[in-house]
Structure 1
Amino acid sequence: METHNFSIEFFPPKTPEGAEKLRATRRQLAELRPKYFSVTFGAGGSTQQGTLDTVLEIQSEGHPAAPHLSCVGGSRESVRAILQQFQAHGIRRLVALRGDLPSGYGGAGEFRYANELVEFIRAETGDWFHIEVAAYPEMHPQARSPQDDLQNFARKVKAGANAAITQYFYNADSYFQFVDGVRKLGVDVPIVAGIMPITNYTQLMRFSEMCGAEIPRWVRLKLASFGDDTASIKAFGLDVVTALCERLLAGGAPGLHFYSMNQAVATTAIWQRLVSR
């Protein structure tokens, strides 16, 4: 596992209690020595300061950190100011996304798509940043067709992205098919698999509905059959996700990016199983 690009994602805490809890989580996950931690960004820039504060705290603890940068609703001027802030703080890696429009928000801002954001970052900052973009093995919910989705991804990479992180998924074939498809378009950047540990069935169903990630029927039925038995849900989830990670790494995935949900236990358990095998 040491040779793989292994990273962990957090979201910025909204309360002092949340910040304290995340510090404890981070102390545990830092022991796994991930390549970097990433920190998400709220819709329409709602947590921009929280993202930067969390990234700076992680950096002060001696760990590489990558802020997410969403361009939706943003102007060139506002994005330029954020990039200058990142550079001033010595941040060298970021995750560039279009982002979701906040509810009730009318305009899309000056950037319509992530490829325009990537192009702008490169024009403004040259090679300063290592830029990660998003990939959707099961197709972006708003894409017109799978082929259209592959073309959109290729545009982001050609605009200057160094690598990609996928939306989470539970069907390894969707990842391998996506990678094959973009390789045929001449895209050769590393595509790291996004991994969502399974610990809460209701929460997983809600997230998956929002982002278009498919939960295979057999997994869904099994999880539903456990009812409120959280220990069984977690044990089964650990088996399913560890097996997925093993298949991905064996099939050539360059690494794993864990959506930790600011929790340490599930990611640590999967990691320990992977390194012990």
Structure 2
Amino acid sequence: MSSVHAQQLESINRHLLDIKGKIDVSFEFFPPNTEQMETTLWQSVERLAPLDPKFISVTYGAGASTRDRTHDVIKKIQQQTSLSTAAHLTCIDATEQDLINIAKDYWEHGVKHIVALRGDTDPNQPQQLNQPPLYASELVSLLKSVADFEISVAAYPEVHPEARSAQADLLNLKRKVDAGATRAITQFFFDVDSFLRFRDRCAAANIDAEIVPGILPVTNINTVTRFAGLTNVSVPAWLTDSFEGLDNDATSRNLLGANIAMDMVKVLSKEGVSDFHFYTLNRSELTYAICHLLGKRPQQTTASSPI
């Protein structure tokens, strides 16, 4: 290791002491499909709850069964813990009245933060219920017409796969913010510079909303590569090479995944990022370790209500 690199690393590590107690985190989960997955979910929520996240969100997809599972999980967390919850809501496979009814139901149950998304279209079902489909900016406006929700939206440092151009994608984000969104959570990424360049472009476009990096700790490179292919995320060669030969070595994969995510977070925090959104995949171990490194640790005087 060169002396310059060693000095840079030492500077970043010292910075972690400076930011202790000044970082906010949020966690994303998905609704479980099986009894075993439900057990894993609640174990993860219990493990991460003492870290006092800003909020936790639960994903949402098209179809009544997925919607119902999301509603059930969100309401249970809202009712049985002290955590602040954010419900994902998509436009796909729902009419405007459906969306209004869902929003009212959430508000009545104390869920006042929505992650507003257009949602992914299903190529096998081209005829969606709402034709023409709403866009996320329109969903933000609709939600604001129902109640004064806190609204987060999605952002894409490497450009949404359906966007005509990077500039068009940026303008779409501005429309969502102008409609009332207060936070943009990014798609996961592995190129820190791409996030920093995107943040600069948002500032230049007068996008007045917090840009929160989405962090995905990698434990299975094949799964991540599949996700990345669907979302226009670059998977660098060094990342793929790092996991080569570890298919049957879960322990090493976890250690490597935690180390990679920690390095990203260190650099981002040094660049002034104070909020991080973790895609947990309903597992808590790596996210907990990274938060510990950031100084986001359980407080003896506060505890979440039992689930």
TM bracket, shorter-chain basis: over 0.9
Letter in 2 for 1:117: L
Kindly indicate whether the alpha-carbon contact (under 8 Å) linking 2:115 and 2:151 is maintained by their aligned counterparts in 1.
yes
Distance in 2 of aligned mates of 1:103 and 1:191: 30
1:120 partner letter: L
Please report the RMSD computed on the Cα atoms of aligned residues, expressed in angstroms: 1.6
Mapped partners of 1:64, 1:217: distance in 2: 38
Distance change in 2, residues 1:46/1:113 (3 Å) = farther
Q: What percentage of aligned pairs have identical amino acids?
A: 36
- In structure 1, what is the Cα distance between the partners aligned to 2:169 and 2:64? 25
Contact 1:93 1:129 (C-alpha < 8 Å) held by counterparts: yes
Name the residue aligned to 1:19: 38
Residue 101 of structure 1, aligned match among 121, 130, 137: 121
Deviations 1:215-238 (A, max 9, x none): 221111121243433222222221
Work out whether residues 58 and 73 of structure 2, in 8 Å CA contact, stay in contact via their aligned partners in 1. Answer: yes
- In the alignment, what sits opposite 1:183? 203
Which moves more between the two structures, 20-29 or 109-118?
109-118
**In structure 2, which of residues 246, 257, 267 is the aligned counterpart of residue 237 of structure 1?**
257
**What letter corresponds to residue 188 of structure 2 in structure 1?**
Y
Answer whether contact 1:199 1:237 (CA < 8 A) is retained.
yes
Contact 2:188 2:214 in 1 (8 A): yes
Higher relative contact order (CA 8 A, sep 6+): 2
Paired with 1:137 and 1:45, the residues of 2 have a C-alpha distance of 31
Give the distance between the partners of 1:192 and 1:204, measured in 2 at CA.
20
Aligned position for 2:140: 118
- List gaps (5 residues or longer) in structure 2: 1-19, 297-307
> What letter matches 1:20 in structure 2?
T
Verify the 8 A CA contact 2:189 2:214 in the aligned structure 1.
yes
Paired amino acid for 2:262: T
Residue 123 of structure 1 aligns to which amino acid in structure 2? S
Choose 133-142 or 219-228, whichever is displaced more: 219-228
Provide the rounded CA distance (Å) in 2 between the counterparts of 1:58 and 1:264.
16
1:83-137 superposed Cα distances (whole Å, 9 cap, x missing partner)? 1101110111110000112352223415331111111111232xx2100000000
Aligned-partner SS, 1:13: coil
Is 2:99 the partner of 1:88? no
Q: Does residue 63 of structure 1 match 2:83?
A: yes
Of 105-114 and 24-33, the range deviating more from structure 2: 105-114
What TM-score do the two structures reach when normalised by structure 1?
0.93
Residue pair 1:44, 1:102 contacting (<8 A) in 2 also: no
Give the drift of 1:79: 0.4
Residue 146 of structure 1 deviates from its aligned partner by 1.0
Greater alpha carbon shift after TM alignment, 108-117 vs 22-31: 108-117
Q: Distance in 1 between matches of 2:39 and 2:260?
A: 31
Alignment match, 2:67: 48
Q: Deviation of residue 186 (structure 1)?
A: 0.9
Matched, 1:274 2:279: no
**SS where residue 258 of structure 1 aligns?**
strand
TM-score between both structures, scaled by the size of structure 2: 0.85
Query: Secondary structure, in 3 states, of the residue corresponding to 2:162?
Result: coil
Matches within 5 A, 1:253-272: 253-272=273-292
Deviation at 1:4, TM superposition (A): 2.9
The one-letter amino acid of 1:145's match is S
Q: Deviations over 1:191-239 (max 9, x none)?
A: 1110000111221111111222112211111212434332222222211
Structure 2 distance, partners of 1:43, 1:76, is 14
Q: Is the contact between residue 118 and residue 159 of structure 1 (CA under 8 Å) also seen in structure 2?
A: yes
Question: 1:191, 1:254 within 8 Å by CA — same for their partners in 2?
Answer: no
Instruction: Say whether residues 1:34 and 2:34 are aligned partners.
Output: no
Q: Please say if residues 73 and 107 of structure 1, whose CA atoms lie closer than 8 Å, have aligned partners that are also in contact.
A: no
Please report how far the alpha carbon of residue 78 of structure 1 lies from its aligned counterpart in structure 2 after TM superposition.
0.5
Q: Distance in 2 between matches of 1:44 and 1:173?
A: 37
1:63-86 CA distance string (max 9 Å, x none): 111110001132111001101101
1:251 maps to 271
Is 1:5–1:192's contact at 8 Å kept on the other side of the alignment?
A: no
* Unpaired runs of at least 5, structure 1: none
